[in-house]
Amino acid sequence: MSIRYTERLADVGAAASVGSVADSYDSAKAEAPNGTFKAELIEMQGSWRDFAQVDPAVVQWVGWYNEERLHSALAYVPPVAYEQQYRANQAQATQTA
């Protein structure tokens, strides 16, 4: 599987990960939300008995994370609102160009 994956990356001109296994720089952007998820939902609100308990909690947390949480790097605007404003600005810039 690994060889086929590497070949497929080469076919489409994509570069494989440059980090080594367990290198924190390799997947830091992907791991940040995972760490937040685990800390804020799974560990803080656990003890979970079964999937039926966890599933709606995950859906609710993901909705909050994407649509409601205030993000300091986005001037304390929720990510979805920031993206909507960005797209509106892009559309306006395209129309005036």
Convert the pLDDT of each residue in 28-71 to its tens digit: 666 778 888 888 888 888 788 898 998 999 999 999 998 999 98
Same domain for 39 and 70, yes or no, is: no
Same domain for 61 and 71, yes or no, is: yes
Does the pLDDT value for residue 17 go beyond 70? no
* pTM of the entire predicted model: 0.57
Mean pLDDT, residues 4-19 taken together: 77
CA–CA dist 8, 14 (Å, integer): 8
Same domain for 60 and 94, yes or no, is: yes
Same domain for 63 and 93, yes or no, is: yes
| Number of folded domains that form the chain | 2
The boundaries of the domain holding residue 42 are 1-46
Same domain for 2 and 40, yes or no, is: yes
Among 63, 61, 67, smallest CA distance to 80 is for 67
Distance of CA 1 to the CA centre of its chain: 26
